Amino acid sequence: MTKKWWHDKVAYQIYPKSFYDSNGDGIGDIPGIISKLDYLQDLGVDIIWLSPCYRSPLADEGYDISDYYDIDPRFGTMADMEQLLAETKKRNMYILMDLVVNHCSDEHEWFKKACEDPNGKYGNFFYLRDKKEDGLPTNWRSYFGGPVWEDLPGTDKQYLHVFHKKQPDLNWENPELREEVYKNINWWLDKGLGGFRIDAIINIKKALPFRSYEPDRADGLCNIQAMLKEAHGIGEFLGEMRDRTFKNYDAFSVGEVFNEKPEEIPDFIGENGYFSSMFDFNETIFGSSEKGWYDAKPITPDNYKRCCFESQAKIGDIGFLSNIIENHDEPRGVSRYIPEGDCCPQSKKMLAALNFMLKGLPFIYQGQELGMENVPFTSIDEIDDINTLDEYQVALDAGLTPEEALKAVSRFSRDNARTPMQWSNEPNAGFTTGTPWLKVNPNYPSINAANQQEDPDSVRNFYKKLIALRKNPDYKETIVYGALTPYLKDQHNLMSYYRKGDKTLLIIGNYQKAPQTAVLPSDYKQILLNNYTDLTQDNLTLTLLGYQLVILEL
Ligand code: GLC
Ligand code: CA
């Protein structure tokens, strides 16, 4: 594998609206991020992915962009952005922006011009169809509920939006649109970005000509996947984008890729792939249901292990996965992957290490390093996220009571991850001096950065040790490039694997509250990391305490 500058890095995702508010308006902002760079540097972070902070009506919290060349005033100014780039550069850090080009906002000037003249240049930037008396052009259901078609204001046409109606899809079949996208990417790379996280990208290729598919719910609509499965040739767009942009800057790109076919993986992230890396969502999608969130199954430790190993085996030496336990679209990883009632510093550290030591690029989502947990929502009115509001309705339509529906969607709500970052035990977790845009998780007096920075045994300091281990010159080669082989794969509630390079490491996690024994393949040289102070051992048999995790050098 050709070595790349980003292989040995550690990445951190910031959701700007909820990270740190510098001016008391209740909304996180870029100056707030700048003021926390030392915190991130102290943790050991190199690459920062910013969720969108472009000009936007924030209908989908910034994933609906109305100007790709501007910063939304709520987040700051272009000068702030330039200062952030300069300050990160000083610290040898890199900024990734979010590239949201499957769709723009209905408030983007392209869309306004398309409304004025649907048959003109900008009409062809979107997917427009004549409005019909007898129904919609197709029966596809949008990701956020309801049909994907909406009237194009002031015209006799309708436009396609696979996400929210305020997110009209861009027509990638049109070379003029593609040129605009490349121009924008290069403009930002010229400003000094390290690269991009690429949003919702599998949606850019549509199966043409459009047609309806078998309905899969009582609403008579079908999941958008039915169409995407038939869409071939996305590689032409992605390869062109790579060649016209990222490649010329040696930029890092990580794709939000779902449902890729195994034979396509080399094209996506192999040598000269479309992207540098792509996220592993195998654990995330486990248990999801066609019917909706209310019908989704929780994941067990054994399934979590299986999902991780499946992805690792699938990728092998082809390229680099980006590993996550959560992001801004998911509930908190500790609340999801640790059995209910068992969240504690030990189990959080175990999960952290099991994920962090996988082969690939580790991404930490803001607050993950503190072990931030899901929110105890008490009313649907506390929820801002459009996805959750739709899933709540889906649950009600399926016959759940409002209480049951709230409980069901609370488990998966994207707002679990979007509550303000918990900096301290001051009011509003020290996130803002004003009123936070989204309620702070009430557990902030006990879970916050200030406490954890002082406590050598905190979850945060454990993350810091994990990061330091990845960067330790003695182990770096093995942790970054070493092969991953599962160990004691079938032992219940135990997750263990080797990383073999110039050193041999064994990672062992007792994924349950009760102690359990595990037999080592051979004696070890030293313990590199342990989430307890001791390790009980009798010859080659370890007795691991509840959620005990050790990283051993054999
Ligand atoms: C991606 C983003 C998500 C957004 C969607 C539409 O999945 O991560 O937050 O809602 O795309 O842009
Ligand atoms: Ca602010």
pLDDT, tens only, 465-491: 999 999 999 999 999 999 999 999 999
Check pocket membership of 163 for ligand 1, CB cut-off 6 A: yes
Residue 452: which H helix or E strand, with range? helix 449-454
The hierarchical CATH code for the domain 109-160 is 3.90.400.10
Q: Distance between CA atoms of 58 and 521, rounded to whole angstroms?
A: 54
CB distance 258 to ligand 1 below 6 Å: no
b/e code 410-421 from CB counts within 10 Å (16+ = b): bbbbbbbbbbbb
Residue whose CA is at the smallest distance from ligand 1 atom 7: 200
Residues within 5 A (CB) of ion ligand 2: 21, 23, 25, 27, 29
Which residues lie closer than 8 Å to 371 by C-beta, 6 or more apart?
334, 343, 345, 348, 447, 459
Q: Quick one: pLDDT at residue 498? A: 98
* pLDDT of res. 110: 98
What residues contact 283, with CB distance under 8 A and at least 6 apart? 299, 304, 307, 308, 325, 337
For residue 1, pLDDT over 90 is answered with: no
Q: Which ligand is nearest to the CA of 27?
A: 2
315 alpha carbon to ligand 1 midpoint, in Å? 24
Cα of 512 from ligand 2 centre, angstroms = 42
* Topology given in CATH for the domain delimited by 11-101+175-461: TIM Barrel (3.20.20)
pLDDT of residue 259: 85
pLDDT bracket for residue 311 (50, 70, 90): very high
Please, which pLDDT band fits residue 336 given cuts at 50, 70 and 90? Answer: very high
Average pLDDT for 329-350: 98
| Cα 444 to ligand 2 centre (Å) | 20
Ligand 1 centre distance from Cα of residue 329 (Å): 7
State the average pLDDT over residues 35-60. Answer: 98
The CA-based angle 505-320-492, given to 5 degrees, is 50
The answer, as to whether pTM is greater than 0.75, is: yes
pLDDT level of residue 324 (50, 70, 90 thresholds)? very high
**pLDDT reading at 329 higher than 90:** yes
Q: What is the mean pLDDT of residues 286-306?
A: 97
Q: Which residue, judged by its Cα, is nearest atom 4 of ligand 1? A: 63
98 CB near ligand 1 (under 6 Å): no
435 C-alpha to center of ligand 2: Å?
A: 10
Could you tell me if residue 166 is left (phi over 0), alpha (psi between -120 and 50 degrees) or otherwise beta? alpha
Q: Decide whether 109-160 matches 483-553 in CATH topology.
A: no
CA distance 551 to 364: 20
- Is cis: bond before 215, omega within 30 of 0? no
Round to whole Å and give the CA distance between 268 and 301: 29
For the Cβ of 329 lying below 6 angstroms from any atom of ligand 1, the answer is yes
What is the per-residue pLDDT across 90-133, written as a single tens digit (0 to 9) for each?
A: 999 999 999 999 999 999 999 999 999 999 999 999 999 999 99
pLDDT confidence tier of residue 524, bands split at 50, 70 and 90: very high
What is the pLDDT, as a whole number, of residue 260?
86
Tens digits of per-residue pLDDT, 219-253?
999 999 999 999 999 999 999 999 999 999 999 99
Catalytic site residues? 199, 256
For domain 483-553, is the CATH number 2.60.40.1180? yes
Residue 100 CB less than 6 A away from ligand 1? yes
Q: What is the pLDDT of residue 261?
A: 82
- According to DSSP, the residues that pair with 527 across neighbouring strands are 552
pLDDT of residue 91: 98
- Tell me how far apart the alpha carbons of residues 292 and 309 are, in angstroms, rounded to a whole number: 26
Q: Each residue of 124-163: pLDDT tens digit?
A: 999 999 999 999 999 999 999 999 999 999 999 999 999 9
pLDDT at 60: 97
Residue 205 has pLDDT above 90, yes or no: yes
| Domain extents in the chain | 11-101+175-461, 109-160, 483-553
pLDDT above 90 (res 494): yes
For ligand 1, atom 9, name the residue with the nearest CA: 329
